[in-house]
Amino acid sequence: MLGTVGQHSNIGRNFTCRCGSCKAIRWLKPRYKIRPLVEGDISEMQQLFRSTVLNVNLRDYTNEEVMDWASCGDDVAHWKDLLSQNCYIGAFDERDRMAGFSSMNKKGYLHSMFVHKDMQGKGVATQLLEEVEKMAVAYGVTEITSEVSLTARPFFERKGYKVVKSQKCRANKLMLTNFVMRKCIL
């Protein structure tokens, strides 16, 4: 059972066993509520996207590059188009605030994976990736492809994705380096 250590069950909380018979204590990462995203979520998606790009991706891209990239999220019509072409899911914390979002389409293309700047390293991306990989399996695809930033590349490599090629892609006005990555899932 998840969260069970020895004879003690304490799902979702860290604890210290006092019985003396427990050999291991697990530190459990919080699980987030996952739900499909709809047009009513666009404003929150835009804010999360912009904040993440401007703060997290700044460690791998120049200020000019992140400003250009962040501007790609300004157009609501573009978000509506993305929602119509991809299945977007969001991860929400206990206060129902969006911690991150990702997407998958029926061809196995993972279009988006963004985690709030304050939620980095807390299991959000891992949970989102598990969910979109389940979607890909349900769609019957045998491999997932994505175009991944310099910042996200190490995460995807740890999850079994391989670099197919490095490329330059247009954000808005500037060409930014990213990587086509692939993972076989069946």
Whole-model pTM: value is 0.83
CB contact at 8 A, 69 and 57: yes
Q: Where would I find the H helices in 56-123?
A: 63-70, 76-85
Encode pLDDT of 25-57 as tens digits: 444 456 899 999 999 999 999 999 999 999 999
Kind of pairing, strands 109-110 and 143-149?
parallel
Could you state, in order of their start, the residue ranges of all structural domains in the chain? 1-30, 33-184
Tokens linked to 178: 């990213």
- Residue 30 is predicted with a pLDDT of 63
Q: Is the dihedral of CA 74, 56, 61, 183 positive or negative?
A: negative
End-to-end CA distance of the chain: 27
Encode pLDDT of 65-110 as tens digits: 999 999 999 999 999 999 999 999 999 999 999 999 999 999 999 9
CATH code of the domain occupying 33-184: 3.40.630.30
What is the rounded average pLDDT of the residues 126-154? Answer: 97
CB contact at 8 A, 120 and 145: no
